[in-house]
Amino acid sequence: IIQSGTVTRGWIGVEAQEITAELAESFGLAKPVGALVTGVDRSSPADKAGLQPGDVVLGVNGQKVDNSADLPRIIGEQKPGSVVRLSIWRDRKARDINVTLGEQAGEKVLTASPERKSDSTSNKLGLNGRALTGQEASRLGVPGGIVVEGTNGPAAKAGLQNGDVILGINNQAITSIDQFRRLIESAGSRFALLVQRGNSRIFVPLRMD
């Protein structure tokens, strides 16, 4: 990140949803944990490894996947090209499957560089994040957004969470990180962020003072 201003993330190419108590019962799970795979991108690492819709990912390299938000975060922390062991639940039985990770396109992150610390949005808002990929934006039906990957300061106090997607500031839609920075700088001390959290969209008020 320091050298290039980009972040490299592992990628497997799946869509997943939360496991409810009702779904856990349907799939024969003792409790509602894991990430339920609802879609597998064609020719993706997951597709090549044989992952299927209806599989429930319970762990990655021994690290538990408690909910659907855990899966992209844990996978994203792994190095592209590495082989990870997914613990999955299929046909009411546990099994392991190995996946060779692909690479998610590197995106500019909202973090300070040594040369421009005062110009970092994260210094003012207390936010680290990345731009939505084109595929992610298309899936959400939005022109763009910021995926939250770390918070402190005002962002943390407002309750922003890792995995939240910031879609707008007040009534202005987000289209890029540069535009997001400009809107933050001109928004004043109090404003609201439109956030996609799971399947819901909410406004989160922020106070910069």
**pLDDT per residue over 114-132, tens digit each?**
333 333 444 578 888 888 8
Mean pLDDT of 49-54: 90
**pLDDT per residue over 145-191, tens digit each?**
999 988 888 888 889 999 999 998 887 889 888 899 888 888 878 88
**What are residue 81's phi and psi, to 5 degrees?**
95, -15
Q: Is residue 15 very low, low, confident or very high in pLDDT (cuts 50, 70, 90)?
A: confident
pLDDT of 92 > 60? The answer is yes
